[in-house]
Amino acid sequence: MARDDDSIIKVRGLKKSFGTHVVHEGLDLDVRRGEIIGIVGGSGTGKSVLLQQIVGLLKPDAGRIEVFGESVRDTSPDEYRRLRRRWGVMFQDGALFSSLTVRQNVEAPMREQLHLPDDLRETLAGIKVRMVGLPENAQDKYPSELSGGMRKRAGFARAIALDPEIVFLDEPTAGLDPIGAAAFDRLIGQLQSALGLTVFMVTHDLDSLHAICDRVAVLAEKRVLAVGTMAEMLKIDHPWVREYFHGPRARAALGPDATDEVG
């Protein structure tokens, strides 16, 4: 298991409820520096809520969340701002600012956090837009003029605008066609190794899990039920986990051998 010092994100005893509806209780999770971790779980098990708590958009009821060894909850606004610069978040469907062009969207965090000359900022934003594989003519388009896949790429470009150490991705390949999703997986993998990113990825896409995730964390019963590599997941004996990793879709994604050897 991870030594404490190489976990970049550390969640301990997290509790979160909305009214009487308890979403997380006693949730622990470690994310190691430089890995791609995939978070899976049924719809409504609180994957997005977990992500939002880690990045400080939601306040946990109890528990500790440390990112870069600092508690996200107990920071002063100034420290939080410094901390926030070191991660990037990509929301489901990109959450781009619809009144800004793609490049302006990528410039937005730079404009907010740094004082750069205009032309330098535009150049750097342009590089990020190209890096995520958007064509040159997409730079000055508005989000509504892009396809869903392009919007996701643009959202990813905005998430990596400030060269973060961690990127949080909420269902990055949901709603993409299989080719687009595979391309997006490759893109995440490439940029992860080029920029040395740690990637925290909520996903339902078994192909992504298989193709790029170093480890998988399963969210069920209000906590992280299991963490490990795909191979380890296949050996876990829990109804939901079995159903998930041994179902017909899993078989298709992983190939029959992978599921049969334990099944």
Ligand X SMILES: Nc1ncnc2c1ncn2[C@@H]1O[C@H](COP(=O)(O)OP(=O)(O)O)[C@@H](O)[C@H]1O
Work out whether 128 is an interface residue with another protein (CB under 8 A).
yes
Work out whether 139 is an interface residue with Mg ion (CB under 5 A).
no
Q: Taking the CA of residue 99 as centre, how many other CA atoms within 13 Å lie in the half-sphere pointing to its CB?
A: 0
- Residues 167/67, Cβ–Cβ less than 8 Å: no
Based on CB atoms, which residue is closest to ligand X, 47 or 103? 47
Out of 7, 45, 48, 52, name the contact with Mg ion by CB under 5 A: 48
Q: In what order do the strands lie in the sheet with 223-228?
A: 87-90, 166-170, 198-202, 36-41, 215-220, 223-228
Binders in 150-179 for another protein, by CB under 8 A: 162-163
Work out whether 112 is an interface residue with another protein (CB under 8 A).
no
With 0-12 / 13-18 / 19 or more C-beta atoms within 10 angstroms meaning exposed / middle / buried, residue 19 is exposed
Work out whether 47 is an interface residue with ligand X (CB under 6 A).
yes
What is the DSSP-derived secondary structure letter of residue 3? -
Work out whether 116 is an interface residue with another protein (CB under 8 A).
yes
H or E segment and range at residue 77: helix 77-84
Q: Taking the CA of residue 26 as centre, how many other CA atoms within 13 Å lie in the half-sphere pointing to its CB?
A: 3
Which residues touch 160 (CB under 8 Å, ≥6 apart)?
88, 128, 131, 132, 167, 191, 195, 197
Which of these ranges, 38-46, 87-95, 107-115, 228-236, lies near another protein under the rule CB under 8 A?
107-115
Task: Output the smallest distance, CB 108 to Mg ion, in A.
Answer: 23
Out of 11, 31, 41, 110, name the contact with ligand X by CB under 6 A: 41
Work out whether 173 is an interface residue with Mg ion (CB under 5 A).
no
Binding residues for another protein, per CB under 8 A? 98-99, 110, 114-117, 119-120, 122-124, 126-128, 130-131, 136, 142-144, 162-163, 190-191, 193-196
Binding residues for Mg ion, per CB under 5 A? 48
